[in-house]
């Protein structure tokens, strides 16, 4: 069997060892589709896996990378044939199943989504799990009946991957988007995406009141903890907040007051095991609704060999927008 380049995380006495290795294809895990990976992307969860600062990896050794896009090399799954362009987000990739930071991946066909017409593998990874998650959040708000006429939308972690795409999607729908960020020097960048207003995340970082002043009808939150508690306390009557991250913490020090006195809703967003029907709808919407020229402008590219050194930067909040990983070439 052939060997190929991959980032590998192994257990070590000091915690873990991470390196770029020649991986034997015979060591790939079970699956009915083999994909030649062309592009991947670096997400917050990947940063946790690469640094060992979060319990992301649950199988050792592990090839990290929760996203991939590429071309089917071989398949025993009737839905896919050699030459098909595909994208994969989640389903334990890079956590329990060998992931996307490798030139080859063997996966279950039921995890794959055909790449939408007109979207390249690179563009799919410019979107990545971050953009796909943002689309799931926007779709959840739509299903809840939240429209621009109801009031503004707030986006936390605005300069990050999820936040950047959420701003662009909500602004295109006509929302007055309020971007909350700890990097107010990025105001011009956030406004270029469609943000109408910038606030310092410090406004949302303190102990939340049971009920705050009503400020927005919708929210997309990737922070959790006190930030989410504050966002909820300031949500207008009948509004909704889509929660999809925990960068600040897993806890939620909030009151039930906004739920029972203002009738607001907290919408949980799971991108990992999202059903295929919704997953495919999200990718179709991304292909149609997202300005990919704008997306390219907020994306940086790194080769596979640089992933290990860039991983810590995303945890330190030094990464703006998206990072795509060129797997080979």
For residues 256 and 6, give the distance between their C-alpha atoms in angstroms, rounded to a whole number. Answer: 47
As a whole number, the mean pLDDT across the chain is 95
**pLDDT at 329 (0 to 100):** 65
Across the range 175-194, mean pLDDT stands at 94
For residues 114 and 35, give the distance between their C-alpha atoms in angstroms, rounded to a whole number. Answer: 12
For residues 55 and 28, give the distance between their C-alpha atoms in angstroms, rounded to a whole number. Answer: 22
In this structure, the answer to whether residues 81 and 133 fall within a common structural domain is no
> Residue 27 maps to which CATH number?
3.90.180.10
Q: 311-316 — which CB contacts under 8 Å span 24+ positions? A: 311/42, 311/46, 311/47, 311/49, 311/50, 311/51, 312/47, 312/50, 312/51, 313/47, 314/42, 314/43, 314/44, 314/46, 314/47, 315/44, 315/47, 315/48, 315/51, 315/53
**pLDDT at 1 (0 to 100):** 55
DSSP 173-218: HT--EEEEES-GGGHHHHHHHT-SEEEEGGGGTSPPPSS----EEE
- CA distances for 254 relative to 21, 94, 226, 241, 280, angstroms: 46, 32, 8, 14, 34
Q: In this structure, is residue 35 part of a structural domain?
A: yes
**pLDDT at 296 (0 to 100):** 84
Phi, psi of 124 (to 5 degrees): -60, -35
In this structure, the answer to whether residues 136 and 258 fall within a common structural domain is yes
Of the candidates 96, 84, 92, the residue with the CA atom closest to the CA atom of residue 35: 84
For residues 220 and 107, give the distance between their C-alpha atoms in angstroms, rounded to a whole number. Answer: 31
- CA distances for 108 relative to 42, 79, 98, 124, angstroms: 22, 11, 12, 19
Across the range 217-222, mean pLDDT stands at 98
**pLDDT at 294 (0 to 100):** 84
In this structure, the answer to whether residues 191 and 311 fall within a common structural domain is no
- pLDDT single digits (tens) 258-303: 999 999 999 999 999 999 999 999 999 999 999 988 888 889 999 9
Across the range 310-325, mean pLDDT stands at 89
- pLDDT single digits (tens) 108-123: 999 999 999 999 999 9
pLDDT above 90 (res 18):
yes
**Residue span of the structural domain in which 49 resides:** 3-115+298-326
pLDDT above 90 (res 207):
yes
pLDDT above 80 (res 52):
yes
Across the range 85-97, mean pLDDT stands at 97
Q: In this structure, is residue 240 part of a structural domain?
A: yes
In this structure, the answer to whether residues 93 and 24 fall within a common structural domain is yes
Q: Using the structure block, give the residue that is written with the tokens 């362009």.
A: 85
How many structural domains compose the chain?
A: 2
In this structure, the answer to whether residues 89 and 163 fall within a common structural domain is no
- CA distances for 58 relative to 12, 44, 55, 92, 95, angstroms: 14, 17, 7, 9, 6
Helix (H, G, I), strand (E, B), or coil: what is residue 63?
coil
Higher per-residue confidence, 62 vs 183: 62
Q: In this structure, is residue 277 part of a structural domain?
A: no
- pLDDT single digits (tens) 116-146: 999 999 999 999 999 999 999 999 999 999 9
pTM metric for this prediction: 0.93
**pLDDT at 227 (0 to 100):** 98
> Residue 260 maps to which CATH number?
3.40.50.720
Higher per-residue confidence, 316 vs 267: 267
In this structure, the answer to whether residues 11 and 35 fall within a common structural domain is yes
- CA distances for 268 relative to 79, 136, 221, 245, 271, angstroms: 30, 10, 10, 10, 10
The tokens for 212 are: 């705050």
**pLDDT at 293 (0 to 100):** 86
């Amino acid at each position: 069997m052939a060997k190929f380049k991959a980032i590998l995380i192994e257990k070590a006495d000091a915690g873990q060892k991470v390196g770029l290795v020649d991986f034997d294809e015979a060591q790939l895990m079970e699956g009915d589709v083999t994909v030649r990976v062309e592009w991947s992307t670096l997400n917050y969860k990947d940063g946790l896996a690469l640094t060992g600062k979060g319990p992301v990896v649950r199988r050792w050794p592990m090839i990290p990378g929760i996203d991939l896009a590429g071309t089917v090399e071989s398949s025993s799954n009737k839905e896919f044939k050699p030459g098909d362009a595909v994208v994969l987000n989640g389903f334990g990739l890079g956590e329990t199943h060998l992931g996307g930071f490798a030139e080859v991946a063997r996966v279950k066909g039921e995890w794959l989504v055909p790449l939408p017409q007109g979207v390249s593998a690179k563009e799919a990874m410019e979107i990545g799990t971050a953009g796909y998650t943002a689309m799931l959040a926007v779709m959840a708000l739509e299903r809840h009946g939240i429209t621009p006429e109801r009031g503004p939308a707030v986006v936390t972690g605005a300069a990050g991957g999820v936040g950047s795409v959420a701003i662009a999607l909500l602004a295109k729908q006509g929302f007055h988007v309020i971007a909350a960020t700890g990097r107010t020097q990025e105001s011009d960048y956030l406004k270029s995406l469609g943000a109408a207003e910038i606030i310092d995340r410090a406004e949302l970082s303190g102990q939340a009141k049971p009920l705050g002043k009503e400020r927005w009808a919708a929210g997309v939150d990737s922070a959790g903890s006190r930030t989410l508690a504050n966002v909820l306390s300031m949500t207008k009557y009948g509004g909704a907040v889509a929660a999809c991250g925990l960068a600040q913490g897993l806890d939620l020090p909030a009151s039930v007051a906004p739920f029972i006195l203002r009738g607001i809703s907290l919408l949980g967003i799971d991108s990992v095991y999202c059903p295929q029907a919704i997953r495919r709808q999200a990718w179709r919407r991304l292909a149609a609704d997202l300005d990919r020229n704008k997306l390219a402008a907020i994306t940086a590219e790194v080769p596979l060999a640089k992933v290990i050194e860039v991983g810590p930067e995303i945890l330190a909040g030094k990464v703006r927008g998206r990072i795509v990983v060129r797997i080979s070439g």
